[in-house]
Amino acid sequence: MKKISWFALVIGLGLSGFITSPYEQAQERLAFSQQEKPLADRLGGLRELSDTERAHATRQLALQIRELPATRNKLLLALNLSSLSTEGDLGYDTLQDVAATLANALREQPQQAQNGVPSYAYTALAKLVRYEHVQTALDDPQFADAMAKLQSEERRLQHVDFALTDLQGKAWSMKELRGKVVLVNFWATWCPPCRKEMPDLDSLSRQFGEQGLVILAISDETEDKVRPFIEQRKIGYPILLDPGRKINALFNIDSIPETFLFDRKGNLTAQAIDMRTKKQFLAMLKQAGLK
């Protein structure tokens, strides 16, 4: 499982009173209607489809969710679809429909800010607009605030510095990597989209290593979990451990995989909020001057 669970989505929407059971019971306790349950089931099966089938199914689901009556389940379905739609390259039109569906659900059911922080649904929509380059006409102060917070985070991460040690005991520091193009990738062994993009990252590391590309993959897991996983897959780029999640917190990581690309001057030039294909990674690297 990647990103956010059904249970976490409910908590993120401020609906914790609606679900009090553990995660394993959360989806059942959502009490989907006869209209909603087939769509929820199809959402759960999206990862089993080929990329082409998945793009078509995702777009269909976006349109079908949009036609549901305005309930909190509709918003949860739209939000979960937005989370799944950014895994790989499903195409601009698909993502645009997903964003339109989420915006529609938010117009019907505006959410309350929590302690001055926009409800998670507005942040999810803002990330689609900011990092997947779709458009929305949603006119809501929380959405505007979510967009502003993303831009503020990007400014904070310009020239960010940190130091971590890899599995071989070598220390890596962003400051010492000035002059290199640095791709920072947050991942975990249990995350299917993370595993899916790793062979492409390994290929890119070999292809662009002599041109100055350094890939730093950061996991918050312990060495005994990470080392056998990496050795079995023969991954060649540096794997850094962050079991205390200090660097995860520095980058404000709340879902994985997530990738940040820094140019040779340490400027944050591109960001990916989910799994990328090799073609998508190449487009990011181009922004940092690698071709």
Residue 192 shares a structural domain with residue 210: yes
Report the number of distinct structural domains present in the chain: 2
- Among 108, 131, 154, the domain boundary falls at 154
Span 2-51, pLDDT tens digits: 554 444 444 444 433 332 223 333 444 568 899 999 999 999 999 999 98
End-to-end CA distance of the chain: 33
Residue 138 shares a structural domain with residue 169: no
Span 188-239, pLDDT tens digits: 999 999 999 999 999 999 999 999 999 999 999 999 999 999 999 999 999 9
Per-residue pLDDT at 54:
97
Residue 266 domain-assigned (yes or no)? yes
User: Which domain CATH number covers 226?
Assistant: 3.40.30.10
- Among 154, 174, 190, the domain boundary falls at 154
Q: Is the pTM of this model over 0.85?
A: yes
Per-residue pLDDT at 30:
67
Span 130-168, pLDDT tens digits: 999 999 999 999 999 999 999 999 999 999 999 999 999
Domain holding 270, by residue range, is 163-287
Residue 148 domain-assigned (yes or no)? yes
Residue 144 shares a structural domain with residue 56: yes
Per-residue pLDDT at 29:
55
Residue 175 shares a structural domain with residue 126: no
Q: Mean of the per-residue pLDDT values for the chain?
A: 90
Residue 25 shares a structural domain with residue 131: yes
Residue 138 shares a structural domain with residue 234: no
